[in-house]
Amino acid sequence: MNAETTPLVEVSELHFAYSGRPVFRGLSLSIPRGKVVAILGGSGSGKSTLLRLIGGQLRPARGSVRVDGKVVHELDTDALYEMRRGMGMMFQSSGLFTDLSVFENIAFPLREHFDLPEELIRALVLMKLDAVGLRGARDVMPADLSGGMSRRVALARAIAADPALVVYDEPFAGLDPITLNVIATLIRKLNDALGATSIVVTYDVSEALDVVDYLYVIADGVLVGEGSPEDVLASEDPYLKQFLHALPDGPVRFHFPGRPLAEDLRLAK
C-alpha cells in the first residue's frame, strides 16, 4: 500500500495505565485518511488519554501509536515537534489565550510554526474566521465571547495552518442545541473542504452519528464496537445498544457495587 491508502493514524495493541490503574488493555484501531472518525465512550473510558498518546504527550506501556507511518513514542523532540506541525487541536474548553484577541489567537500557530509575512498571516486568519462566521469578531477578546463563539474561534485556530490531522476533544460538550449543530456541521464541511482527516472524541452520540464516516466505541480499555454509524446503531451487542440508545438497563450499572440497601439499613441500626 502507498501513503495515500495507508491509515493516517494506527493504534496497535495499546496498553497504558495511570498509577497501576489500567486505561487501555490492548486497544487497536486505525484512522483512514480524509475521513471524519468518531471515538465514543463513557466518561473515564480513556478518550482524552488516547489523544495525548497520539500527540506524544504520553508514552504507552506496550503497543504502538503511528501517525503517518511514524511511531510517535520513538520520535525525538525535533521530530515530535515536526509531526505536531501537521496536527490541529480543538480543546474541550476551547483553550484560547485570554490576553490575545480573536485575531491573535488564530495567528499564533501560524507565527509559531512558519516564517510568513504579516500580509499573508492576516489573509489566512481572516479566511479561517470567515469560514466559521466570525470575521467581524477579529478584534474581540475571549472574555467577551459566548461559549459557542469561543468554540468556533477554537475551531478556526485548529485549522489555521491547514493541518493534515485535526483532533476535536469533546467539541459538543455544554453547547445549546443550535450552536451544537453549527459546530458539528462546520467540522464536517471544513474537513471536506481542506481534505483533512478528523478525529472527534465525544460522548455525544446523536451529533457524532450525523457527521462522521466511521466510529469506534471503547470501554474497559478495549474496543467494543466499530463500523459505519448505520452498522453500529443496528448492532445487537448489549453494551452498544445501551450506550448508543441511552438505555437505563444493560451492562453498565448505575450503582457502584455494594451490599443491598436493606442490608445496609439493617446494619446501621
Q: What 3-state class would DSSP assign to 266?
A: helix
**CB distance 145 to 153 below 8 Å:** yes
Q: Tell me the CA end-to-end span of the chain in Å, nearest whole number.
A: 70
Q: Residue 173 to residues 9, 177, 207: CA-CA distances in angstroms?
A: 25, 11, 11
What pTM, to 2 d.p., does this model score? 0.84
Q: Report whether 159 contacts 194 (CB < 8 A).
A: yes
Provide the pLDDT for residue 37: 94
Note the pLDDT of residue 110.
Answer: 93
Per-residue confidence band for 1, with pLDDT thresholds at 50, 70 and 90 = very low
* 184-207 confidence digits (pLDDT tens): 888 898 899 889 999 998 877 777
Separation of alpha carbons 188 and 96, rounded Å: 22
Nearest residue to 226 (alpha-carbon basis) of 244, 211, 210: 244
**pLDDT tens-digit series, residues 154-193:** 999 999 999 999 999 888 877 788 888 888 888 898 899 8
Owner of C-alpha cell 450552536:
179
pLDDT digits (tens, 9 = 90+) for 17-30: 998 888 999 999 99
- Residues paired with residue 17 on neighbouring β-strands, in sequence order: 22
Q: Which residues 6+ apart lie within 8 Å of 218 measured at CB?
A: 27, 39, 40, 41, 45, 46, 47, 50, 224
DSSP per residue, 187-224: HHHHHHHHT-EEEEEES-HHHHHHH-SEEEEEETTEEE
**Residue with cell string 485518511:** 33
User: At residue 59, what is the residue type?
Assistant: R
